[in-house]
């Protein structure tokens, strides 16, 4: 226990050196560590920071301010859409069969599509063709898997009925795809806005977590992230009067939409089937026009979109078409002549901000499903700053109190424990910085708690040395026995606390996770500083002064 070989000594010094190295950046202002590239605003370490670690501890949103929003992907909507498509496919398949098979009805009932054949004799033939609609589920990597997308069954009691359901595996694949696509779209949108350092991550089955540091207005994020941005182009049917509330009855194939930002609200009836959708757009940008007062949004169609748009405008000169975005008509201009170039502008009474927002939405594409915020936490930067300050003060006061306590109780050995404690805090900061972990307010509490509990190992050892001392051992023997005998208690005690921290990490979210991380790191570093480092200090003292008795 009292022998430190060359390699052991080297490792101890190396660990402490690394701790200091990794925690160092936290003491130097960012502007001294990084130079900003003025072209793309990216940061480059400068000077000595190019060679040594330059990362600081990441502050959680509760400390630096910002918005944390969890969105739920509306899977019910996706499932309904899926079943509608399935019903349409089933109708098409039966019609296309040779000879055509006649269905009495094909309808979505609950979470199935029910096909009722006109003649029960046709059922087996229909079953065969409908079964071909089912395909192997493609996995996340795109390879076909073993399970089928559809579950096609002949109804047991109704001899003319066939039921088509989507298998759980396919639903899961759809869910994963929908959430992944949503995350991609959200990322493109936030990047388009130039948001700094957003975090976008899947959470649970069908949720997406969006964290934006520094954003104090959650509504701005909800507006840009939560908008489905599904855009479509429809011809306006001016022969129909939508009525004052848009409640007029319309013939099949026509739909009434409200006009955006009109007060009182006004309505237009349009063809339900869209001529073009946002998927046909290749790019959009903010622009100006001679005819409009404010900014306009210019867009370009892809080749196919340009052809369709050209045809639509050529054949409907003098009529109006409507651009519908998420259930609202943003503009409904007159077609003055054919537009063949494949580009156009939207004049929608925009301010620069709303135009920019629409551009970002159009360029990022539509979300595959609507998103609803289910959890939102917003912290103002000033509150975060206050919390950092009170947290720092609490750490400092707690630290001083523990030092006073330890030195009062153990004298010189208390000083060893104090030095070990300081190294401990440096190691915790170094580990947090090096691992890129996030420090939250509960995380600070974890550090304070670690400071209080870290001395436990020292206390155990010193109490043990005291006991051994009383038995009349020599100082070296007492030290040796004290460290040796205290080890099992220290390990058992720390493993149990580590279990608690690990469980917290697995089940906790956000701030609580930050607490678990600092607690877990603190347990590991405190075993090292209390058991290994403070022992080294005691041994150095023993060698240097050769004391007759241990001052404990």
Q: Which residues pair with 165 in a beta bridge?
A: 112, 151
**Residue of 406, 425, 429, 439 that binds another protein (CB under 8 A):** 406
Cβ atoms within 10 Å of 453's Cβ, excluding its own: 17
In this structure, the dihedral spanned by the alpha carbons of residues 457, 463, 464 and 465, taken in order and rounded to 10 degrees, is 110
d(CA 52, CA 28): 13
Q: Which stretch binds another protein (CB under 8 A): 21-29, 142-150, 274-282, 399-407?
A: 399-407
Residue 273 or residue 499: which is nearer to another protein going by CB?
A: 499
202 burial class (0-12, 13-18, 19+ CB within 10 angstroms)?
middle
Q: Does the protein bind another protein through residue 540 (CB under 8 A)?
A: no
* Total number of residues shown for the chain: 552
Q: Which stretch binds another protein (CB under 8 A): 24-32, 78-86, 174-182, 215-223?
A: 215-223
CA contacts within 13 A on the Cβ side of 42: 3
Residue 50 or residue 470: which is nearer to another protein going by CB?
A: 470
Residue 61 or residue 297: which is nearer to another protein going by CB?
A: 61
Q: Which residues pair with 103 in a beta bridge?
A: 117
Q: Does the protein bind another protein through residue 504 (CB under 8 A)?
A: yes
199 burial class (0-12, 13-18, 19+ CB within 10 angstroms)?
middle
CA contacts within 13 A on the Cβ side of 157: 0
> Rounded to the nearest whole angstrom, what is the least distance from the CB of residue 105 to another protein in the complex?
29
Interface of this chain with another protein, residues 446 to 485, rule: CB under 8 A: 448-449, 451-453, 455-456, 459-460, 463, 466-467, 470, 485
In degrees rounded to 5, what are phi and psi of residue 104?
-70, -45
Interface of this chain with another protein, residues 132 to 171, rule: CB under 8 A: none
Distance (Å) of CA 382 to CA 58, 65, 86: 17, 7, 53
> Rounded to the nearest whole angstrom, what is the least distance from the CB of residue 182 to another protein in the complex?
15
> Rounded to the nearest whole angstrom, what is the least distance from the CB of residue 29 to another protein in the complex?
24
Interface of this chain with another protein, residues 347 to 366, rule: CB under 8 A: none
Residue 281 or residue 449: which is nearer to another protein going by CB?
A: 449
The token pair that represents 354 in the structure block: 């709303």
**Residue of 57, 256, 445, 521 that binds another protein (CB under 8 A):** 445
Q: Does the protein bind another protein through residue 394 (CB under 8 A)?
A: yes
Q: Does the protein bind another protein through residue 28 (CB under 8 A)?
A: no
x/- mask, another protein, residues 292-331, rule CB under 8 A, reads ----------------------------------------
> Rounded to the nearest whole angstrom, what is the least distance from the CB of residue 511 to another protein in the complex?
7
**Residue of 24, 519, 521, 537 that binds another protein (CB under 8 A):** 519
**Strand 296-301 with 438-439, pairing:** unpaired
Q: Which stretch binds another protein (CB under 8 A): 236-244, 273-281, 309-317, 445-453?
A: 445-453
Helix 6-23 to helix 412-435 angle, to the nearest 10 degrees? 60
**Residue of 134, 376, 474, 477 that binds another protein (CB under 8 A):** 376
Q: Which stretch binds another protein (CB under 8 A): 130-138, 143-151, 256-264, 505-513?
A: 505-513
Q: Does the protein bind another protein through residue 4 (CB under 8 A)?
A: no
Residue 106 or residue 490: which is nearer to another protein going by CB?
A: 490
List strand residue ranges (DSSP E) for 81-235, in order: 103-109, 112-117, 136-138, 144-148, 150-154, 161-166, 199-203, 207-213, 231-235
Q: Does the protein bind another protein through residue 377 (CB under 8 A)?
A: yes
d(CA 222, CA 70): 10
Q: Does the protein bind another protein through residue 235 (CB under 8 A)?
A: no
Return left, alpha or beta for 489; rule: phi > 0 is left, psi -120 to 50 is alpha, else beta: alpha
Residue 109 or residue 507: which is nearer to another protein going by CB?
A: 507
Q: Does the protein bind another protein through residue 405 (CB under 8 A)?
A: yes
Q: Does the protein bind another protein through residue 507 (CB under 8 A)?
A: yes
d(CA 454, CA 447): 10
d(CA 217, CA 380): 9
Interface of this chain with another protein, residues 409 to 428, rule: CB under 8 A: 409-412
**Residue of 232, 494, 525, 534 that binds another protein (CB under 8 A):** 494
SS (H, E, C) 433-484: HHHCCEECHHHHHHHHHHHHHHHHHHHHHHHHHHHHHHCCCCHHHHHHHHHH
Residue 235 or residue 457: which is nearer to another protein going by CB?
A: 457
- Residue 140 contacts by C-beta under 8 Å, 6 or more apart in sequence? 173, 176
In degrees rounded to 5, what are phi and psi of residue 121?
-65, -25
Q: Does the protein bind another protein through residue 258 (CB under 8 A)?
A: no
> Rounded to the nearest whole angstrom, what is the least distance from the CB of residue 204 to another protein in the complex?
8
**Residue of 60, 342, 368, 391 that binds another protein (CB under 8 A):** 391
**Residue of 326, 347, 375, 484 that binds another protein (CB under 8 A):** 375
């Amino acid at each position: 226990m009292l022998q430190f070989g060359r390699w052991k000594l080297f490792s101890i010094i190396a660990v402490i050196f690394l701790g200091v190295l990794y925690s160092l950046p936290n003491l130097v202002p960012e502007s001294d560590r990084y130079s900003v590239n003025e072209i793309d605003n990216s940061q480059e370490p400068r000077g000595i920071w190019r060679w040594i670690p330059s990362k600081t501890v990441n502050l959680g949103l509760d400390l630096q301010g910002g918005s944390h929003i969890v969105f739920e992907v509306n899977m019910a909507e996706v499932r309904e859409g899926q079943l509608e498509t399935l019903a349409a496919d089933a109708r098409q398949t039966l019609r296309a069969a040779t000879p055509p098979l006649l269905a009495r009805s094909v309808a979505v009932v609950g979470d199935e599509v029910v096909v009722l054949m006109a003649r029960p004799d046709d059922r087996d033939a229909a079953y065969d063709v409908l079964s071909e609609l089912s395909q192997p589920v493609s996995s996340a990597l795109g390879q076909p898997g073993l399970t089928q997308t559809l579950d096609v069954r002949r109804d047991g009691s109704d001899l003319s009925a066939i039921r088509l359901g989507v298998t759980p595996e396919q639903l899961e694949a759809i869910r994963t795809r929908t959430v992944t696509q949503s995350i991609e779209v959200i990322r493109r949108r936030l990047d388009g806005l130039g948001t700094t350092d957003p975090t976008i991550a899947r959470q649970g089955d069908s949720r997406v977590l969006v964290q934006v540091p520094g954003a104090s207005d959650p509504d701005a994020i909800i507006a840009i992230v939560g908008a489905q941005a599904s855009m479509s182009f429809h011809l306006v049917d001016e022969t129909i009067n939508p009525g004052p509330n848009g409640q007029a009855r319309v013939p099949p194939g026509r739909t009434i939409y409200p006009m955006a930002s009109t007060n009182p609200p006004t309505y237009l009836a349009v063809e339900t089937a869209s001529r073009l959708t946002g998927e046909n757009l290749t790019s959009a940008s903010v622009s100006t026009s001679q005819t409009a007062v404010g900014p306009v949004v210019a867009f370009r169609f892809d080749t196919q979109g340009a052809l369709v748009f050209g045809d639509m405008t050529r054949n409907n000169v003098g009529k109006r078409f409507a651009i519908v975005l998420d259930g609202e008509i943003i503009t409904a201009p007159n077609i003055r002549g054919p537009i063949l170039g494949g580009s156009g502008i939207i004049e929608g009474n925009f301010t620069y901000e709303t135009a920019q927002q629409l551009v970002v939405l159009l360029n990022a594409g539509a979300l595959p499903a609507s998103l609803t915020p289910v959890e939102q936490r917003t912290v103002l930067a000033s509150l975060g700053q206050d919390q950092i300050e009170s947290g720092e003060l609490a750490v400092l006061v707690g630290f001083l109190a523990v030092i006073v306590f330890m030195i009062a109780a153990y004298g010189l050995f208390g000083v060893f424990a104090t030095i070990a404690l300081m190294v401990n805090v440096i190691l915790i900061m170094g580990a947090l910085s090096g691992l890129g972990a996030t420090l939250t307010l509960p995380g600070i509490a974890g550090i304070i708690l670690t400071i209080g509990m870290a001395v436990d190992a020292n206390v155990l050892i010193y109490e043990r040395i005291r006991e051994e001392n009383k038995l009349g051992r020599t100082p070296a023997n007492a030290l040796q026995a004290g460290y040796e005998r205290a080890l099992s208690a220290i390990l058992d005690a720390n493993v149990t606390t580590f279990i608690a921290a690990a469980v917290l990490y697995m089940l906790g979210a956000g701030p609580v996770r930050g607490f678990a991380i600092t607690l877990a790191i603190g347990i590991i570093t405190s075993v090292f500083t209390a058991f290994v480092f403070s022992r080294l200090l005691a041994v150095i003292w023993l060698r240097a002064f050769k004391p007759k008795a241990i001052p404990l």
